[in-house]
Amino acid sequence: MGFSEIQNTEGFSRTGAQHKTLRAEEEVTSWGQLHALEPALDMQRLFNVCNMRKLPRMVVNNDIAIRNQVKRSLPCLSYSTIAPTFTPTDHHTTAAIRNKQLEWQNYEKLEPEKLKKLKRDDFLKIRADLWGRNDWGNEDRILRVLDDMKQAGLKWTVNEYNEYFTAKLFKTQYADVLDMYLGEFQESKVKLSTGSFNVILATYIQLDMIPEAIRLIQEANNLYDVVPDIRDFDRTMSRCMPRNTRVRVRAKELISQHGFKSTKVLNANLMHLIDKRRFQDVKWIYEQQKDKKLDISTYNILIKGFTDARLMRDATHMYKEMQRHGVKPNAYICTSMLSIYAHTRDIASAEQVVRETILGGHRPDEFLYNNLIKVYFKCRLTHKAFLAYQEIEKDPRLKVNDVILNTMINGLVINREFNIAKILYKQMIESSYKPDMITFNTMLKGYTKTGDMLSAASIISDMFKLGMEPDTVTLSTLINSIFKTKAPASAEDMIETIRQMGMTPNIYTYNAIINGWIESDKLDQAEKTLEIMRGTSQLKPTIHTYTNLIQGYIKHMQLGKAMETFQSLLRNGVQPDRATFNFMIVGFLNHDRLEDAFTCLNHMLNMKLNPTKDTWTGD
């Protein structure tokens, strides 16, 4: 659809505000002025398209439409080489589902004599296929297979009982569930599973048999080694009674009141809920237990869980609750709290938690000292960091290790004690200790900031000697510093500088160089770098190579070259990513090509790439 066709699209009524916009546009003499007048106009149109799933009529006059024909002279993008994506109506499992249906039809036709010849695995496969389908009446079929299994003389195991309970609960046949559980199941001496426990508990609650439900919860862990678990119960309910919230709420209350007397059960529930980031449930559980003095392992799970989730206030509150009950921190809790106090720059609390840990009978180890050193460096207390470091050296039971040395070097560089960091780094290189990638990159940044490119090159050399490859951070730091300090005149000069530093440029090096030229607004040198990369080095561009170039072209309003680059990446079998689509959409909007922007967005969604804020704002 061309621009003139879009202009004639029907069904767009003008409001008073739109007439005002139209009159304003008629006074504009260039598209650049129009964009400055209404910067959000194009994005509003794109929103309309996405909401209506059709193109609205453009609020422009004929003169503007005619002038835009020049911009529309560029060809449209071809998306034919993008890898196909499956839609719900074109699912690749259709044939598999049809085969399962045929298997069930064949099973139904089996005579009793042939059914008796089937093995346990045969019945298991039929049931697994049925559970994998969402056909109406599958539960009845599963119950029939289970009954056929009995008729064939095969005893049920815990798996068969679990499937029987689940199917009966789904069918709301509660009496059958209890009859089987209290009769044949208990006589068989089969061990109760988590799934069966959940079904029986749900049945008791549904029938208002609360005393029986409480007894089941109390006996579960002691008699059957089953942990009453809120998360697991919710999973069973989602499968069997998805809309019954009353049973879920009541089960959570009963498990909390009668199951959490066991620290094992309480901790298991907390860990599972934290893993699923259900922190509201975690807080609710603690509220039920807050008047009790909990085991230190429980406090550790809560504090670490909140800390890892960046819920610092909740972690700090939990630590205060632990102190209120007179529980001293152990090394694990101390470590979690030190990470929080490093973030908040609370040096007094950090030192206090270390004292409390020691008073609790836990001697500080290397790990604890390392975290304390991080706190001191974060708080710009370099002298205290050195004191902690000296304590490690003095204690015969402790030993300075790679982790501590890396922390010291990184902290010294960050605190602008670069000369001391260089001495410590040299000692580390000459010893048996090995710097990590963070230390290498930190030292590299330190040298590049001071303009000491010779020493920066020596860091790269040390990395290769220790069998480590520069990562993207290393290369970006190095390339950016070369652009700032040496100001290479051409792509050839830049690559020669890299080679003089003892490095053979790889794809990541070239990508960093191309990005550097783009940031320097020298697109011709970025193109030359790509040419050298393909020719001399015979390297294939990656999605990052193409996206960097597209970003540069869009920035300099060269939509034609951006489109050519986009087509090139498709021809070479490279799949565009979210950033690639974002830049192309921005380019189309900058050139008032709304139809192309929408088409680009549509392909982005078809590839299961979710738009970001940048997509919607056009930045």
Task: Supply the DSSP string of 418-470, one letter for each residue.
Answer: HHHHHHHHHHHHHSS----HHHHHHHHHHHHHTT-HHHHHHHHHHHHHTT---
Q: Position of tokens 């011709």?
A: 524
Is residue 400 over pLDDT 50? yes
Which DSSP category does 88 fall into? G
Q: What's the domain range around 52?
A: 3-66
Query: Rounded to a whole number, what is the distance in angstroms from the first to the last CA of the chain?
Result: 26
Whether the predicted pLDDT of 463 surpasses 90 = no
* pLDDT per residue as tens digits for the range 217-247: 999 988 888 999 999 999 999 989 988 999 9
CA–CA separation, 472 and 399 (whole Å): 32
Which of 26, 45, 68, 5 shows the shortest CA–CA distance to 585? 45
Q: Cβ contacts of residue 373 below 8 Å, gap of 6+?
A: 385, 388, 389, 404, 407, 408, 411
pLDDT band at 87 (very low <50, low <70, confident <90, very high): very low
Radius of gyration of the chain (CA): 34
CA separation for the pair 442, 471 (Å, rounded): 13
Q: How far lies 286's CA from each of 22, 168, 304, 317, in Å?
A: 61, 35, 15, 12
Kindly report, residue by residue over 321-380, the tens digit of the pLDDT: 999 999 999 999 999 999 999 989 999 999 999 999 998 888 888 889 999 999 999 999
Q: How far apart are CA 558 and CA 550, in angstroms?
A: 9
Arithmetic mean of pLDDT, 25-42: 37
Widest CA span in the chain: 91
Task: Give the separation between CA 362 and CA 353, rounded to whole angstroms.
Answer: 12
CB 221 within 8 A of CB 227: yes
Report if residue 19 sits inside a domain. Answer: yes
pTM of the complete model: 0.66
Is the pLDDT assigned to residue 8 strictly greater than 50? no
Residue that wins the pLDDT comparison between 154 and 106: 154
Q: Tokens 């580390």 map to which residue? A: 428
Lowest mean pLDDT among 181-185, 278-282, 513-517: 513-517
Range among 349-358, 498-507, 568-577 rated most confident: 349-358
Q: Are 126 and 107 in contact (CB under 8 A)?
A: yes
Q: What is the mean predicted confidence (pLDDT) over 462-476? A: 82
> How many Cα atoms sit within 13 Å of 92 on the Cβ side?
3
Which residues does 42 contact at the CB level (< 8 Å), separation at least 6? Answer: 35, 589, 592, 594, 597, 618
Lowest mean pLDDT among 225-234, 529-538, 556-565: 529-538
Q: Between these two residues, 106 and 524, which has the higher pLDDT value?
A: 524
Work out the number of other CB atoms within 10 angstroms of the CB of residue 546. 24
Among 102-106, 369-373, 516-520, the range of highest mean pLDDT = 369-373
Who wins on pLDDT, 153 or 53? 153
pLDDT at 5: 34
Average pLDDT over residues 166-188: 93
- For the chain, the residue count is 619
Distance CA 327, CA 301 (A): 14
pLDDT grade for 172, boundaries at 50, 70 and 90: very high
Q: Residue range 2-30: average pLDDT?
A: 36
How large a percentage of the chain has pLDDT more than 90? Answer: 38
Query: Residue 128 pLDDT > 80, yes or no?
Result: yes
Least confident span in 99-108, 207-216, 313-322: 99-108
CB 164 within 8 A of CB 148: no
- Provide the percentage of residues in the chain whose pLDDT is more than 70: 82
Rounded distance between C-alpha atoms, residue 532 and residue 318, angstroms: 59
Judge whether 45 lies within some domain. yes
How distant, in Å, are the alpha carbons of 58, 66, 75, 589 from that of 5?
Answer: 10, 12, 16, 18
Inform me whether the pLDDT recorded for 182 exceeds 90.
yes
Considering the domain boundaries, does residue 426 fall inside one? no
Is residue 199 a contact partner of residue 185, using CB atoms and an 8 Å limit?
A: no
- pLDDT recorded at residue 308: 94
Average pLDDT over residues 541-565: 91
Question: Domain total for the chain?
Answer: 1
Residue 462 pLDDT level (bands cut at 50, 70, 90): confident
Write down the residue that tokens 């004191």 correspond to: 387
Q: What is the pLDDT of residue 176?
A: 95
- Per-residue pLDDT band for 408 (boundaries 50, 70, 90) equals very high
Residue 605 has pLDDT above 80, yes or no: yes
Amino acid at 241: M
Q: CA 432 to CA 439: how far, in whole Å? A: 15
Q: Would residue 265 count as lying in a domain?
A: no
Mean of per-residue pLDDT scores for the chain:
81
Lowest mean pLDDT segment, chosen from 48-62, 333-347, 596-610: 48-62
- How would you class 202 by CB atoms within 10 Å of its CB: exposed for 0-12, middle for 13-18, buried for 19 or more? buried
| 601 alpha carbon, distance to own chain's centre | 23
